[in-house]
Amino acid sequence: MVQQATLPPLVRGEWIPMSWEEFLDWCDEGQSEWVDGKGIAYASNSTLHGRRVAFLAELLRLYVRLFDLGEVFSGTTLLRLPTRPSGRMPDIFGIGRDQLDRVQHRWVEGPPLLGIEYLSEDSVQRDLVEKRAEYERAGMREYLLIDARPGRREFLYLRQDEDGHYQEVAPDAEGRYHSEVIPGFWFDPEWFWQDPLPDPDRLMLRIAPAAYRCYLTQLLEESSEE
């Protein structure tokens, strides 16, 4: 009788050789990634990290849904990039409406329009160097890195130029940063350092006031008719 090969038990923080198919069966939950034929499961993030990811993901989802621009993923959604190959889990990423056919049952195939990573103590090299090069090569057009670790208030907003290389995005005269891949969306970096974090609904009334007021009014009218 032929015995089936089995993968070793999950050990967080340790790279283990495996195929993409084995990786999907090996680590079904939590933060995990697959790169160059090896899988790894990371330690759980802090509650503050989770709150910050949820805040920005909700804000982006509200905006993207309001203008029907595509879809925003966060948490433990896999992004498969065939250029390395790898299966990454960005904290947040967004795809355009014309990319929705890339959404598979277990992952999203190919580069998104925008990827966002909150730096943690063990992810600085991975996010700033490894993923930056990987995302650039794969064709992810904008990449935002936020360093909100205790005592730090830094971020790096990158956008691909005509040659496909990342260049740093400059703020406008009011210190706000504008996305090109999510038309009309902007943010103030001061939002990320507030405690408690701002209410995404209130921020939407600043980012897209007329459209969001119209949207809320329509919701109220529809709910009153039910």
Residue 219 domain-assigned (yes or no): yes
The reported pLDDT for the residue numbered 3 is: 41
Tens-digit pLDDT profile for residues 119-167: 988 889 999 999 999 999 999 999 999 997 788 888 899 999 999 999 9
Q: Please answer whether residues 110 and 100 qualify as being in contact, where contact means their C-beta atoms are separated by less than 8 angstroms.
A: no
The reported pLDDT for the residue numbered 1 is: 40
Q: Which pair of tokens denotes residue 219?
A: 């919701």
Composition of the chain by helix, strand, coil, percent to 5 = 35, 25, 40
Q: Would the pLDDT of 28 be above 80?
A: no
Whole domain around residue 11: which residue ranges? 7-44
Q: Are β-strands 154-160 and 92-96 bridged in parallel, bridged antiparallel, or unpaired?
A: unpaired
Residue 113 domain-assigned (yes or no): yes
Q: Are β-strands 78-81 and 86-88 bridged in parallel, bridged antiparallel, or unpaired?
A: antiparallel
Looking at the structure, tell me whether residues 23 and 70 fall in a common domain: no
From the centroid of its chain, how far is CA 197? 18
Residue 87 domain-assigned (yes or no): yes
pTM of the full structure: 0.90
Domain harbouring 155, CATH code? 3.90.1570.10
Q: What are phi and psi of 147, to 5 degrees?
A: -100, 95
Looking at the structure, tell me whether residues 219 and 133 fall in a common domain: yes
Residue with the bigger pLDDT between 168 and 2: it is 168
Looking at the structure, tell me whether residues 215 and 156 fall in a common domain: yes
Looking at the structure, tell me whether residues 40 and 61 fall in a common domain: no
Q: How many whole angstroms separate alpha carbon 165 and alpha carbon 158?
A: 9
Percent of the chain exceeding pLDDT 70 equals 93
Residue 1 domain-assigned (yes or no): no
Looking at the structure, tell me whether residues 132 and 158 fall in a common domain: yes
Q: What are phi and psi of 83, to 5 degrees?
A: -65, -25
Tens-digit pLDDT profile for residues 85-123: 999 999 999 999 999 999 999 999 999 999 999 998 888
Name the nearest CA neighbour of 198 among 59, 47, 62. Answer: 59
**Greatest CA separation found in the chain?**
72
Q: How many whole angstroms separate alpha carbon 113 and alpha carbon 201?
A: 23
Mean pLDDT of the chain: 91
Q: Please answer whether residues 140 and 119 qualify as being in contact, where contact means their C-beta atoms are separated by less than 8 angstroms.
A: no
Q: How many whole angstroms separate alpha carbon 150 and alpha carbon 120?
A: 10
Domain count, the chain: 2
Looking at the structure, tell me whether residues 172 and 122 fall in a common domain: yes
Q: Which of 38-42, 87-91, 179-183 has the lowest mean pLDDT?
A: 38-42
The reported pLDDT for the residue numbered 4 is: 45
Name the nearest CA neighbour of 117 among 95, 96, 89. Answer: 89
Q: What are phi and psi of 82, to 5 degrees?
A: -70, -15
Name the nearest CA neighbour of 17 among 41, 40, 47. Answer: 40
Q: Would the pLDDT of 2 be above 50?
A: no
